Amino acid sequence: AQTVTQSQPEMSVQEAETVTLSCTYDTSENNYYLFWYKQPPSRQMILVIRQEAYKQQNATENRFSVNFQKAAKSFSLKISDSQLGDTAMYFCAFRTATGANSKLTFGKGITLSVRP
Amino acid sequence: KAGVTQTPRYLIKTRGQQVTLSCSPISGHRSVSWYQQTPGQGLQFLFEYFSETQRNKGNFPGRFSGRQFSNSRSEMNVSTLELGDSALYLCASSLGASGTYYYEQYFGPGTRLTVT
């Protein structure tokens, strides 16, 4: 079974600064996907960024980038130039890339507050 | 294009009752997954449906069931409600089913169920 661990329950960052959210996972699979989802207060969950395990290059989406360390099973999210709209809960998630049983497994989430 | 819709958005039920939640996927999407979100357990996978067939199931008791209709709309039912069933129930739709090919999941706003 796969597990996803987000050990920091809350973080706070000043607007325009950079923040890194940590995530570790455990799996015996070799092919899988990793995700960061954002859930703003009372709003829908949206996908922030996705990483395929077979790709060595770290994924980047505008101000969002990941540091994927496959051997260490670590998948952190870096948010540059933080904006007030980045305030939300962030979930790290895992999904296998093989077989029929490839549900999303989520971490407990981290609440990020961006201060003006 | 309309997003994933879930009805009702809020629901209050009494212990022992049953409840049915509905999810309408994005037009053209054939897969629907359900998740339960609670402060204590986080996000947990309930089940996934594709072309009216349940493809995956999470570790929930048999009181939790679901189905999918020919138009891809899905319902989930919880019978004999318990206080611990109070949660945000999220539905996510995707073009295809889980497997080796990646299909992004788009989440709905959720149904907030309160059991008293």
Min distance A91 CA to chain B CA atoms (Å): 9
| Contact across the interface for A47 and B104, Cβ inside 8 Å | yes
| Cβ separation A108–B42 shorter than 8 A | yes
pLDDT confidence of A100, banded at 50, 70, 90? low
Residue ranges of E strands in chain A: 3-5, 10-14, 19-21, 24-26, 32-39, 46-52, 60-61, 64-69, 74-79, 88-96, 105-106, 110-115
Which residue matches tokens 């079974």? A1
Tokens 């212990």 -> residue: B15
pLDDT level of residue A104 (50, 70, 90 thresholds): confident
**Does the distance separating the beta carbons of B3 and A33 come in below 8 Å?**
no
Q: How far is A95 from chain B (nearest CA, A)?
A: 9
Query: What pairs with residue B17 in β-bridges?
Result: none
CA distance B111 to B116: 16
Q: Token pair of B10, please?
A: 């809020």
Measured between CB atoms, which of A43, A104, A109 is closest to B45? A104
* Gap between the Cα atoms of B97 and B88, Å rounded: 23
User: What percentage of chain A exceeds 70 in pLDDT?
Assistant: 96
**Cβ-contact A22, A75 below 8 angstroms:** no
Q: Which tens digit of pLDDT belongs to each residue from A22-78?
A: 999 999 988 899 999 999 987 889 999 999 998 889 999 999 999 999 999 999 999
**Average pLDDT rounded to a whole number, residues A86-98:** 91
Q: Is residue A76 within 8 Å of A100, Cβ to Cβ?
A: no
Pick from B97, B100, B109: which is nearest to A97 by CB?
A: B100
For residue A43, list chain B residues with Cβ-Cβ distance below 8 A. Answer: 109
pLDDT at A96: 83
What is the reported pLDDT for B16? 98
**pLDDT tens, position by position, for chain B (116 residues)?**
689 999 999 999 999 999 999 999 999 999 999 999 998 889 999 999 999 999 889 999 999 999 999 999 999 999 999 999 999 999 999 887 766 567 788 999 999 999 99
Count Cβ–Cβ pairs < 8 Å, chain A vs chain B: 55
Is B56 in contact with A33 (Cβ distance < 8 A)? no
Residue A114 has pLDDT above 70, yes or no: yes
Q: What tokens does A46 get?
A: 């949206």
CA distance A33 to B98: 12
Q: How far is B2 from chain A (nearest CA, A)?
A: 14
Beta bridge partners of B49: B32, B54
